[in-house]
Amino acid sequence: MIAPRTKFPLDYVNKTISVKFFGRESLFHLSHGLFSSNDIDAGTRLLLRCIGARLDLSHLGSILDVGCGAGVLGVTIGRASPGAHIMLQDRDALAVAFARENCVANELQNADLDCGLAFWHLQGESFDLIVSNLPAKAGRPVLQSFFSAAAGLLSRTGVGAVVIVSPLAQFAREAVQSSGCLLFHAESTGQHTAFFFQKPENAASDAPAFEDLGPYLRGRHAFDSGGVRYELETAFNLPDFDTIGYSVEVAQEILPASRLQGDSLFWNPGQGHLPVCAQKKASRGFETLAIAGHDALELAISERNLASAGRQVSRSLLLPTEAGLAEAVDPESIDLLCAVPHPVPKAPWHMDLALGAGKILRKGGEMLAAGTSTDIFRVLDQCRGFKLVESVKRLGHRAVLLRKN
C-alpha cells in the first residue's frame, strides 16, 4: 500500500480545541470523520492523567502512539518529552493527515507518521513508551495480538500505557499477562480502565512485529449477488462480513459486464465484494485493477481477496479523502471508477468525488457510484459533463452508472 502525501483536507475540520499537559497547551483540529470529533474523550484524558502522575517523561528516547487518531496522545506526550522521537500510526489515512497537521500546528518536529495496521512497518524498532486508546470494536483477536506485538516492541525498560472501555478491562488484564509482560498499575473510572505494563527483567530479546492479517480475519464466507457466486475472507470491524449491504448489492447488479475492461479503480472497496464481483463478471478482463481508500484494513483485505480470485492489484492507494483521487491518480487514466463513499458530515466529499472522477476518467469512461439515495443524489448534483446511463434503487439505497462525455 502507498500513502502519498496530499493536501491537508481543511474542509474536514469540525472543531479546534486545546489540551493542557505538563503546563503546555496544545491545539488540535478534530473531524467528524474521526473518533471523538467534538472533544477529547474521557479515556484519553484518563490515560494522560495517569501518565503525567506515574511516568518520568524527561528521559524517553522513543514513543509510539498506536491508533493515533488526531494525534492527541502522541503530540501532548511528545511535547513533554523533548528528547524523544515520536511515531504516530493509524490505519485511517484521514487520521494520519490530521495527526500530521496537528504535529505541525504544535511545532512537534521530532515526529514521523505511518498509515497502516497496528505495528505494521515497524520491524526492528523498539520504543520506550507505547500508548494507545484501544478501540472496543476492533475484535478480541485483534486486541490480543496488540498486546503480544507491543511486548515485542518495548525496549528493555519500556512501558506500555493503554486505556480501554471498562467492560473489556478483565480481558485486557488477561491479555497483558498472557503476553509475558508485568502489569504494574491499573486505574479505573466508571467507563474506562488504564493499564501500565512492561517486560520482566529476564525477558528474551526483542521480537519483531509480524505483518499478519490473521488476527483480523473472521472466516471465509460464500456470497451470491449480481449474478455471480464468489467467496471472501472477511475482517473484523468492517461491514458486510456475512451479508452484503444494499449499497454494494445494487452496485453489483448494474456492473456493466460488457464494459469491464481497460483500467479500473475501486474507491473504498470494503471487504472486497465489488472488485471481486467485477473481476468474476468481467468477460474480457481488466488491463489493470487498482484500489484506493482511507482505510488500510479495507485495502489489505480486498487485496487478499482479489489475489484469491486470481487478480493482482496494480496499485493500492491510501488517501484521506476523495480529493486525493485528483492528486494521486494520473489524469484521464481510468476507464471505470467504482465508488462506495463513506460520507463525512459537513464535509465536501461529494464535490471531491465528482471532481476527481471528471479528472481521472478518460472520455467515455464510466463511474459507478453507490450509497444511500440521499448521498447519491448529492453526487449527481455535482457531476458536470456526465450522462446518466443506469440507475437502480432499493430500500433507501441507490447505484448509478454515469458516462463521461
Span 67-85, pLDDT tens digits: 999 999 999 999 999 899 9
Examine the pLDDT at 207 and tell me if it is beyond 70: no
Own/partner long-range contacts of 101-109 (Cβ < 8 Å, ≥24 apart): 101/8, 101/29, 102/26, 102/27, 102/28, 102/29, 102/70, 102/71, 102/72, 102/75, 103/71, 103/75, 105/27, 105/28, 105/29, 106/26, 106/27, 106/75, 106/79, 108/75, 108/78, 108/79
For the entire predicted model, the pTM comes to 0.95
Examine the pLDDT at 313 and tell me if it is beyond 60: yes
* pLDDT band with cut points at 50, 70 and 90 for residue 208: very low
Examine the pLDDT at 286 and tell me if it is beyond 60: yes
Span 149-196, pLDDT tens digits: 999 999 999 999 999 999 999 999 999 999 999 999 999 998 999 999
* pLDDT band with cut points at 50, 70 and 90 for residue 316: very high
Q: Which of 320, 324, 294, 341 is nearest to 98 (CA)?
A: 320
Q: What is the pLDDT of residue 298?
A: 98
Mean per-residue pLDDT of the chain: 93
Tell me the CATH class for 10-198. Answer: alpha beta
Residue 269 vs residue 284, higher pLDDT: 269
Q: What is the pLDDT of residue 235?
A: 95
Residue with cell 497496528: 118
- Phi first, then psi: give them for residue 273, nearest 5 degrees: -55, -55
Q: Mean pLDDT, to the nearest integer, of 123-128?
A: 91
Examine the pLDDT at 203 and tell me if it is beyond 80: no
Q: How far apart are CA 149 and CA 127, in angstroms?
A: 12
CATH number (3.30.1300.10, 3.10.50.40, 3.40.50.150, 2.40.37.10) of 216-404 reads 3.40.50.150
Q: Mean pLDDT, to the nearest integer, of 199-222?
A: 76
Span 5-28, pLDDT tens digits: 899 999 999 999 999 999 899 999
DSSP states along 325-383: HHHHS-TT-EEEEEE-----TTS-HHHHHHHHHHHHEEEEEEEEEEEEHHHHHHHHHH-
* Contact between residue 162 and residue 194 where contact means Cβ atoms under 8 Å apart: yes
Tally of CB atoms within 10 A around 156: 12
Examine the pLDDT at 217 and tell me if it is beyond 70: yes
Examine the pLDDT at 258 and tell me if it is beyond 90: no
Q: How far apart are CA 279 and CA 395, in angstroms?
A: 26
Which residues of the chain form CATH 3.40.50.150? 10-198, 216-404
Q: What is the pLDDT of residue 256?
A: 77
Examine the pLDDT at 138 and tell me if it is beyond 90: no
Q: What is the pLDDT of residue 204?
A: 56
Q: Mean pLDDT, to the nearest integer, of 368-394?
A: 96
What share of the chain in percent tops pLDDT 90?
87
